[in-house]
Chain A
Amino acid sequence: MIIVTGSSKGIGLAICERLQFLEIEVFGLSRDVSNATFPSTSCDVSSYEEVKKVALKLKKEGKKISGLINAAGIASMNLAVTTPPNVSQKIIKTNLLGSIFCCQLFSPLMMRNKYGFIINFSTIAVSLGLKGESVYAASKAGVEGFTRSFAREMADFNINVNCIAPGPIDTDLLKGISANQIHNIVSQQIIPKQFSPSDISDLVELLIDDRSNSISGQVLHVGGV
């Protein structure tokens, strides 16, 4: 079974649908699971206690977890000086602490089997240092740093940890960003085209394949930077 956070929409949902298509058992985590078409549970990943409850439940049920995909994330495009403190805290808590909590609490379920993979999510905003995304970029830069260190900690347990850093993907996170701004970001990628949630799912499919077991601690830039 693969755990996917942020499973109700955007990239998380696209990944869940791809995994289902591949007939891989999926378990989704999202704040709102009312429309879920696959096994899911309501969970705010920024709450250590809520994530811990889910981990305990899965352990008690004897579920064999083979992977974790941390796709839950929020964004707020704003200059740092005009970002309210509660918004900054929410972004850091969900994007950075949420990924850390899920890694901390779900990885022991994989460590027992000495097998597994974890995929975290960053953004092109980190490597490009995009204006108006400083708090968001800071949260994701944290995810990248965590991924690299955590990959070393997990290597002894045969668990690979990697990070996917997409450019502007057509999801709700892009609300409020103009077509011009998107074009400007995309033009800075090595492959200057806007990729889709399906392209991200392709990359996930590649990373969960056993033939990718030599890849760990890496940040994969979608489209290249």
Chain B
Amino acid sequence: MVDIKNDIFQIILNGIESSIIKISDDTQLIGNDGVLDSMKLVEICLMLEDFAEEKKFEFDWTSDQAMSKSRGMFRTAGSLAAEFINQMESKG
């Protein structure tokens, strides 16, 4: 699962299109200190959809809690990776 997490961090990094930022569990994705604007966020979701397809499951990024800033999966890079892995394990 560490590999999957690293792949997701790499996808986020590619989405940001910057080699300067290092992605870690605590990297905030959205909000005031977030590294993603709304367009980049959607682009990363589409990339994760494709990545999920490779892993033979459907990544759902439209759930009720997805966009909740406090508990949503887009809060940090770590929470996004955790939700991706959670969906992969439950649907796989």
Interface Cβ pair total, 8 Å cutoff: 14
Contact with A along B36-55 (1 / 0, CB 8 A): 00110011011001000000
Give CA–CA (A156, B62) in the complex, Å: 20
Find A108's partner among B38, B39, B46 (CB 8 Å cutoff). B46
- Chain A residues lying within 8 Å of B62, measured Cβ to Cβ, are 104
Query: Is B58 a contact partner of A111 (Cβ separation < 8 A)?
Result: no
A56: chain B residues within 8 A (beta carbon): 58
Interface size on B, residues (CB 8 A): 9
Bound state CA distance, A108 and B58, in angstroms? 14
Q: Closest residue of chain B to A156, judged by CB?
A: B39
Contacts of B39 in A (CB 8 A): 156-157
A102 vs chain B, min Cβ distance (A): 14
**B10-54 interface (Cβ within 8 A of A):** 38-39, 42-43, 45-46, 49
Interface residues in A56-107 by Cβ distance below 8 A to B read: 56, 104
CB A153 to nearest CB in B, in angstroms, measures 7
Q: Which B residues are in CB contact (< 8 Å) with A157?
A: 39, 42
- CB-defined interface of A102-139 with B at 8 Å, one 1/0 digit per residue? 00100010011000000000000000000000000000
Task: Give Cα A108–Cα B39 distance, bound, in whole angstroms.
Answer: 12
Chain B residues close to A by CB (< 8 Å): 38-39, 42-43, 45-46, 49, 58, 62
Given contacts A108-B49, A111-B46, A153-B38, 11 further A-B contacts (CB under 8 A): A56-B58, A104-B62, A108-B42, A108-B45, A108-B46, A111-B42, A111-B43, A112-B46, A156-B39, A157-B39, A157-B42
